Structure 1
Amino acid sequence: MTHMQLDLNLLAALDALLEEGSVAGAAARLHVTAPAMSRSLGRIRRTTGDQILVRTGRTMTPTPYAIAVREQVHDLLQQVQGVLAPSRELDLTTLERTFTLRWHDSLVVLGGPALLAEVRRQAPGVRLRFIAESSIDTPGLRRGEVDLEANANRPTQPEIRSDRVAETRQVIVMRRGHPLARAEAVTAARYAEAEHVTISRRGRFDNALDETLARLGLTRRVVATVPTEGAGFEFVRESDLLVTAPESTTHSAVADLGLVLLPLPFELPPAPVYLSWHQRYDTDPAHVWLRDLARTALAGPTGGGNQSTP
């Protein structure tokens, strides 16, 4: 038993070392001291016959062996933790748990309040932590730092599950007195000739919409990019700029701001909404419960697709 316990501790240490790339980072991750983690690294080196991490200047670099086994080590650790986790009947009235949700900001607006209201009604001891999306891809789901993601991106990693829970079409948002504020005034050419603000957490000036315009022989001029829809709406309130945004999340906001919505004058496929999670939570009763509530909240009153992706 002692030998098995030692192996499990080393597996957890190795996973943390490979994820963090430093002894100090791995120690903080596992809530142990740096010297204790250094001793674990020494045992791992003796056990594997590999240095695992080697110092290059002021940083540590993983060896080719460490890079090769990183995913396998992580998967093994998750399997072990799944086997050892006690299986209990879910009692929502006594459940105390905090779930971290990284959703696109428009989806927090669209489905967050309804989700929280239902969670509080069924499980008052549960808290929801909504966090902002990063401007770069982060391995939050795989590292267990995020329980549920919701955005327009279908995950490609095999260990990440996803459901397409809804879709929404894009609409044009402009000020009420805009020269194009009548549907019959908006043509594809006039849309392209206008100046635009795009909404992108990564700061991208173009998106799928521009690819569609290009096929029509048109190019639009994007003068700014902003990270949230709320910011985009403020930019168009007092100008002749246009912003294109998902219809499902704009209706409630634009009326109060004196803005109008108009349909795009060309065909653009609707934007999907994916709910994503790590496969380690597939059979976690509390997570299954939260996923079901999140699907309903994100589908909204109009409903949406629901296609599971393994």
Structure 2
Amino acid sequence: MDLRNVDLNLLVAFDMLMTERSVTRAAQRLSVGQSAMSSTLNRLRKLFGDPIMTRDGRTLVATPLAESLAEPVRELLTGIENVLSLRNEFDPATAEHTFTIIANDYLTMTFLQPLIARLSIEAPGIRLRIYPTGDDFADQLRRHRVDLLIMPQEAFEEHTEFHYHRLFRDRYVVAVDKDHPEVGEDITLEQFSTLPYLAASSGHRRSLSEMQLDFLGVPRNTEITAGFGMAPFLLRGTRLVTLVHERLARQVRDAAGIRLLDPPVPRLQPITEIMAWTNRTDAVPAHRWFRQTLIDLAAENDEA
């Protein structure tokens, strides 16, 4: 096949079709009309001599040939993007760029908020789109729907499939109302197990702290379940106790009216927050700058 007679934009369209498995969504991602995308699919079929996508009820299913081509085409496009990006210098003070991130409320409040404040001064053209952590977070990254994923390594078994970097560790502390009538400067395991307990959750997912407590066989008198970002603010005026990340707890302690105590569970392990990204953005100057900024910020927080 003579490459001079091939429109390489067809490979971009093919990659997006394989990512989205939908003509409509692929058209939206490429900012073209659905009829134009359908026409492009027909051109791809002619180019490869294969249906590429076939309809099964209301869904499109990739053919075996298309599945075999998906990874080589993605690697080819990544190589082209890297070659072109390496020619460009990135100046954060003048650049305009949007980075998309998956991170939970805890990370947004404690880690990304200081970054947002810094960017507004040092890199005013940089914008962030922060999406909550859903059940399909790994697939979102794998399909290049987001640039970066920040979450606990312990909750991300597939992290070794991607490029990743450890940012920081955070331990758990017990939080209670600052005027709790039954808890003094310390809390015993018996108190922790019998007082009304607020269990933290992450959307529909149980938190790592709850899974650890179950694994260690620590009983709880669970009366309330809430998102861990809101948990500290629900303790005021109650007998509730909860586990919360120390960075978040210290940041909201005064506003929430809480006291922080060492957990009476000696084998409770801290979490390790990592960021993960794909090969597609690994060598891109803008993304390398952004990741280094996050690494530097994490180091500064550890020194504080």
> Distance in 1 between the 2:91 and 2:177 partners?
50
Deviation by residue 1:257-302 (Cα, 9 ceiling, x = unmatched): 2211111112211111112222222222222222222123234433
| Counterparts in 2 of 1:98 and 1:207: CA distance versus 1, 3 Å | closer
Task: Choose from 169, 172, 184 the match for 1:170.
Answer: 172
**Structure 1 segments of 4+ aligned residues over 6 angstroms from their partners:** none
**Aligned partner of 1:192: which letter?**
S
More helix by share: 2
**Aligned partner of 1:203: which letter?**
H
Find the counterpart in structure 1 of residue 255 from structure 2: 256
**Aligned partner of 2:141: which letter?**
L
Give the drift of 1:28.
1.9
Structure 2 matches for 1:211-222, cutoff 5 A? 211-212=212-213, 214-215=215-216, 217-222=217-222
Deviates more, 1:80-89 or 1:271-280: 80-89
Give the drift of 1:250.
1.1
SS at 1:74 equivalent: helix
> Distance in 2 between the 1:272 and 1:169 partners?
9
CA-based RMSD: 2.9
> Distance in 1 between the 2:111 and 2:242 partners?
22
Matched length: 301
Find the counterpart in structure 2 of residue 204 from structure 1: 205
Find the counterpart in structure 2 of residue 82 from structure 1: 82
TM-score (norm 2): 0.85
Give the drift of 1:180.
4.5
**Aligned partner of 1:165: which letter?**
L
**Aligned partner of 1:156: which letter?**
E
| Counterparts in 2 of 1:89 and 1:211: CA distance versus 1, 3 Å | closer
The gaps in structure 1 that reach 5 residues or longer are: 305-310
The gaps in structure 2 that reach 5 residues or longer are: none
Give the drift of 1:174.
1.4
Find the counterpart in structure 2 of residue 308 from structure 1: none
> Distance in 1 between the 2:144 and 2:192 partners?
43
Q: Is the 8 A contact 1:103 1:149 kept in 2?
A: yes
Deviates more, 1:79-88 or 1:269-278: 79-88
Give the drift of 1:251.
0.9
Give the drift of 1:212.
4.6
**Aligned partner of 2:260: which letter?**
L
Q: Does 1:181 align with 2:180?
A: no
Deviation by residue 1:203-240 (Cα, 9 ceiling, x = unmatched): 2346355445543x4332434432342x2123322322
> Distance in 1 between the 2:37 and 2:113 partners?
42
SS at 1:301 equivalent: helix
Deviation by residue 1:48-91 (Cα, 9 ceiling, x = unmatched): 34322221222222334434443343233222322344512333
**Aligned partner of 1:198: which letter?**
A
Deviates more, 1:270-279 or 1:147-156: 147-156
Q: Is the 8 A contact 2:86 2:284 kept in 1?
A: no
Q: Is the 8 A contact 1:101 1:129 kept in 2?
A: yes
Find the counterpart in structure 2 of residue 283 from structure 1: 283
Find the counterpart in structure 2 of residue 237 from structure 1: 236
Deviation by residue 1:154-187 (Cα, 9 ceiling, x = unmatched): 5625562211111011011111233542244x22
| Counterparts in 2 of 1:272 and 1:69: CA distance versus 1, 3 Å | same
**Aligned partner of 2:175: which letter?**
V
Q: Is the 8 A contact 1:181 1:260 kept in 2?
A: no
Give the drift of 1:152.
1.0
> Distance in 1 between the 2:137 and 2:113 partners?
26
| Counterparts in 2 of 1:198 and 1:112: CA distance versus 1, 3 Å | same
Q: Is the 8 A contact 2:168 2:302 kept in 1?
A: no
> Distance in 1 between the 2:174 and 2:93 partners?
44
